[in-house]
Structure 1
Amino acid sequence: MTNASDSSSGGFEYRGGSGNPDGVGSLTRHQAVLIDEVIADGHAPTLSFFVRNDDKTRIYEAIAGDTVIAGLTYNFASDNRLVLVATAVFPAYRKQGIASELIRRVLNEVRTQGKTVSIMCPIVWAFIERNPEYADLVDPKHPGMPRGAHRS
């Protein structure tokens, strides 16, 4: 499998700023672009892809053909809960509805599995604010970073 690459994005690593567990800092340029995309998104993705859960690396990967185009990293919590850490879309695939559709598919799978989520990713929070039908999946005891923390 090949991966799209962008040396300035750091792949799927979460690089400082708002969205880190302490919630301190400002959004990265990459986060801001994806939040704007998620907020403005009202259409189906322009590219066909499937989502694979790589539970070894803890990444839900969006794959088009044989290329990973986006990912949503997560951790397991001991109480039937996923902690959604970071969403990334490689630059060549942005503004195509990929982030929204990836998040939607991951949250649908979480719902099917009867799990809840804690959100450390400001992009996922922006998605849920735009799509409140997913708000019930946020664990009330452990919601993650403060809701709205993506607004800076």
Structure 2
Amino acid sequence: MSFLVEENPAKHRFEILVDDAFAGFTAYIPRGEVLVFTHTEVRPEFQDMGVGAALVRASLDQVRERGGRLVPQCSFVRAFIERHPEYAELVVEPA
């Protein structure tokens, strides 16, 4: 099973493909260099396969690579960061 995560700036979200099939997304609201992550959704046929975690991990890695920061308003993203404190430095308090 292969994962590909790409940002779709037109839709303000990161999308994941699993073996070339659209499997889900994590949406954000851009606030300058800060992205407010608002919702994560994985299609039912891809749930319980680690797709959501792969999506969030790759999204956060991309935010880190470009020097961005984020607000984890989405409960899934917030829980992921709590379980993976190496991403905590990306978090800023909401304005």
TM tier relative to shorter chain = over 0.9
The equivalent position to 1:90 in structure 2, one of 40, 43, 53, is: 43
The equivalent position to 2:67 in structure 1, one of 114, 130, 139, is: 114
- 3-state SS, counterpart of residue 129 of structure 1: helix
For 2:35, give the aligned amino acid: L
Give the CA RMSD over aligned residues.
1.3
* Alignment of 1:142 onto 2:78: no
Larger strand proportion, structure 1 or 2?
2
Give every structure 1 segment of 4 or more consecutive aligned residues whose post-TM-superposition deviation is greater than 6 Å: none
Count of aligned pairs: 95
For 2:5, give the aligned amino acid: V
Structure 2 unaligned runs (5+)? none
- 3-state SS, counterpart of residue 94 of structure 2: coil
Larger helix proportion, structure 1 or 2?
2
C-alpha separation in 2, matches of 1:119 and 1:104: 13
Written as runs of structure 1 = structure 2, the 5 A alignment for 1:56-95 is 56-78=10-32, 80-95=33-48
- 3-state SS, counterpart of residue 61 of structure 1: strand
Structure-2-length-normalised TM-score: 0.93
* Alignment of 1:53 onto 2:2: no
Q: What are the Cα deviations for residues 81-135 of structure 1, in whole angstroms up to 9, with x where unaligned?
A: 1111111100110111011111000101111110100111000111011101101
Query: Do the aligned residues in 1 keep the contact of 2:3 with 2:54 (CA within 8 Å)?
Result: no
Q: CA deviation at 1:76?
A: 0.6
- Bigger relative contact order (CA 8 A; separation at least 6): 1
Structure 1 unaligned runs (5+)? 1-46, 144-152
